[in-house]
Amino acid sequence: MSDDPRIVTGSAGRGEVDNRPVGEVFSAITADLSTLIRQEVALAKAEIRQSATNAAAGAGKLAGAGVAGHMVLLFISISLWWGLGQFIGNAWSGLVVAALWAVVGAVLYASGRASLKQVEGLPRTTETAKQIPPALAGHEETS
């Protein structure tokens, strides 16, 4: 290694003398950094676009499965209604099937509500985001 500050060691490890002024070198570094950031942002956008496309396709398929499942439950419910109607009459069997679905709905509602009460949002992200402005000003906490 040489003590000459003008010698720049590249990725190949060979030293080359750079006779450019410091301002020009700094400008080149800034331009390279700017290009790198733009490329990273472009890559992130492309990845997000691809992920969103895949997510939309998956969501569409799940929606179709939901509609199909709804139709299955509808026809099973109709079959149950008619089957019970053989024994207790169609009006009463309709009420029995409706009551059965009311119980299922109430259980799912209670379970979903309990799950939603446990949602905390983004507590760690919110806390670290609050620390960004002080960190940029040089007043970051030491943990």
Instruction: Identify which of 9-23, 90-104, 119-133 has the greatest average pLDDT.
Output: 90-104
Check: CB of residue 131 under 8 Å from CB of residue 140: yes
**pLDDT mean over 47-52:** 90
- How many angstroms separate the Cα of 122 from the Cα of each of 47, 51, 59, 129? 23, 22, 24, 10
- Indicate the angle between helix axes 22-88 and 90-117, nearest 10 degrees: 150
- Which residues 6+ apart lie within 8 Å of 90 measured at CB? 81, 82
Question: Which pTM was predicted?
Answer: 0.52
Tell me what pLDDT residue 23 has.
Answer: 87
What is the per-residue pLDDT across 110-134, written as a single tens digit (0 to 9) for each?
A: 999 999 998 887 777 777 777 767 6
